[in-house]
């Protein structure tokens, strides 16, 4: 299984000929190496409706005839624009040809802002994702604060690899993310949602050291780099 980190919260996973991308944000992502036209996937998974997580979802879906997997409101929004969708919601799971997807809760917000109209469109509850694929359990928390039910995630299915935000300000910071890693019983953690913009500057090395004290392996991925698990 190959995992490519495209920067911010964008993660691409390929296993046995099937590829999926989580929260595609490339066009306006200052640290991304790939362009939208480079992305070849069959599925697009979305955690919530902010522009830095869904920015390129529609274009990637249409150029690949890919299916967008998202919460009901977000899936409906993209279906109205001509994309193939599979709607889900918090706590629900479904088996696809690549593996199983379960949506977990996340504590954040979700909506699209239209500055010219001074309007915000609500796009459903924010979520995290648990992927069971290739015999591995992968947790992408989406944008979230630390919350106690992360312990339940770890109890139900210890996580082989977690993608956790550390940027602070809009999400968990490094201290809370390290607690989250412990609670979900993650074996390995890749920090995400940091150093894309000035407000979320963090030191991933210091975060990795914090994890090592808990017996958890921190993996720092540069945008464009890959990992095999």
DSSP string covering 8-40: TT-EEEEETTEEEEES---TT-TT--S-GGG--
- Given this model, what pLDDT does residue 157 score? 87
H/E segment holding residue 164: strand 161-165
* Domain segments of the chain as ranges: 2-220
The rounded Cα 53 to chain-centroid distance in angstroms is 8
The CATH code belonging to domain 2-220 is: 3.60.15.10
pLDDT, mean of each 10-residue run, the chain (229 residues): 98 98 98 98 98 98 98 98 98 98 98 94 96 98 98 95 98 98 98 98 98 98 97
Q: Measure the CA–CA gap between 174 and 148, rounded to whole angstroms.
A: 16
Rounded (10°) angle between helices 174-183 and 204-212: 40
Which of 37, 42, 52, 51 minimizes the C-alpha distance to 12?
Answer: 42
């Amino acid at each position: 299984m190959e995992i490519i980190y495209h920067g911010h919260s964008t993660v691409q996973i390929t296993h046995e000929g099937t590829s999926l991308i989580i929260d595609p944000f490339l066009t306006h992502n200052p640290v991304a190496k790939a362009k939208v036209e480079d992305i070849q996937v069959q599925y697009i998974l979305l955690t919530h409706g902010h522009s830095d997580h869904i920015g390129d979802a529609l274009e990637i879906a249409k150029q690949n005839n890919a299916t967008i997997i998202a919460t009901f409101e977000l899936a409906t929004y993209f279906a109205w624009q001509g994309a193939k969708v599979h709607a889900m919601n918090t706590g629900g799971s479904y088996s696809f040809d690549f593996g199983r997807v379960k949506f977990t809760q996340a504590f954040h917000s979700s909506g699209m802002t239209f500055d010219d109209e001074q309007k915000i469109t609500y796009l459903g509850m924010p979520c995290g994702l648990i992927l069971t694929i290739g015999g591995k359990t992968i947790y992408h928390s989406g944008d979230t604060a630390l919350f106690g039910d992360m312990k339940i995630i770890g109890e139900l299915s210890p996580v082989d690899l977690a993608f956790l935000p550390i940027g602070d300000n809009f999400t968990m910071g490094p201290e809370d993310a390290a607690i989250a890693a412990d609670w979900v019983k993650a074996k390995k953690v890749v920090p995400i949602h940091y150093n894309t913009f000035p407000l979320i500057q963090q030191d991933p090395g210091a975060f990795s050291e914090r994890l090592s004290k808990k017996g958890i392996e921190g993996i720092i991925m540069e945008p464009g780099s890959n990992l095999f698990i």
